[in-house]
Amino acid sequence: MRILVTGGLGFIGSNFIKYMLNKYKNIKIVNIDKIGIGSNIKNLEDVEKDERYHFIKGDISDFDLVSKIIRNVDVVVNLAAETHVDRSIANPRIFLESNTIGTFNLLEAIRINNPKMRMIHISTDEVYSDIIIGSYKEEDRVKPSSPYAASKAAADMFCIAYNKTYNLDVIITRCTNNFGPYQFPEKLIPKTIIRASMGMKIPIYGNGKNIRDWIYVLDHCEALDLIIEKGKSGEIYNISAGNEIENLTLVKKILEIMNKDEDLIEFVEDRPGHDIRYSLDSSKIRKEIKWRPKYSLEDGLKKTVEWYLTNEWWWRPLINEKILHPTPWKLKW
């Protein structure tokens, strides 16, 4: 099997590539990444010499480049995206260009050059917006709150349209918050670990009562692997582990694992459009694909804390003013 992974130098992408190379011997993976914010060439240093892996520095907004690559692969896993919500509030245009137009380019390249191939488009739970009671199912309507979520929802709509109009083999996945090794330090969990390790304050938006459902990244990778094999064309699959927790409680758990004092917690001004609670019903993928998460929240957090504390070589060069001195969302990055 020949797989094109877009955004493979990012957090989920690099974990997915390693997962697939470790699991399958007869596989070829092409990774295209523009090496933007959130991407790190060091994420895949240990597989650079693997003959089954090939890296191309490029942008999915480059239609000619994408069209050439598409002709020689069987599956596209589209992980290329701008993902930081705060950045989308400060500068939404790049999210439209990368997340929406980039996905459109992939679909067009497939339609013209390789219409029989399969595309797995990685979306997000944020397209649904928040929910106070219950959990979102795949057929529920999307109502994004942030420019990031809007750009992903728009990409989803193009995927659905190309499946219906051109009969392309496209599948959409919507996953809850991932965590684990190689996650960019601006994200909540690695930022908490890094700042706590340095004895610095941990900023929490608002009152910290916002609820998110967390999934260890390797559980997500396994779900994508199963969807490539067993997923049905045109379907949407929610992926969640059922680890709903308030942001404040999550940070306290991390500090407890690290034996750090809760006095490090500092409440800061909330950001606009900050959804209260995300929750996905993942019964569809559990029933149809037979996927189940293997890592509990506690086990995943312990593994993640251990990884960041023992891999300072990876995150230390990424530390900048945004990590050491977080800038309010309303200021341009």
The catalytic residue positions are: 125-126, 148
Closest CA to 152 of 236, 223, 30: 236
- The tokens describing 131, both together, are 């929910």
- The tokens describing 48, both together, are 């650079």
Where do runs of H (alpha helix) occur along the chain?
Answer: 11-23, 63-70, 85-90, 93-95, 102-113, 147-166, 188-197, 217-230, 247-257, 283-288, 297-310, 312-315, 321-324
Q: Which residues pair with 236 in a beta bridge?
A: 172
Query: In angstroms, what CA-CA distances link 77 with 46, 70, 85, 161?
Result: 21, 11, 22, 18
What would you report as the CA-atom Rg of the chain, rounded to the nearest whole angstrom?
19
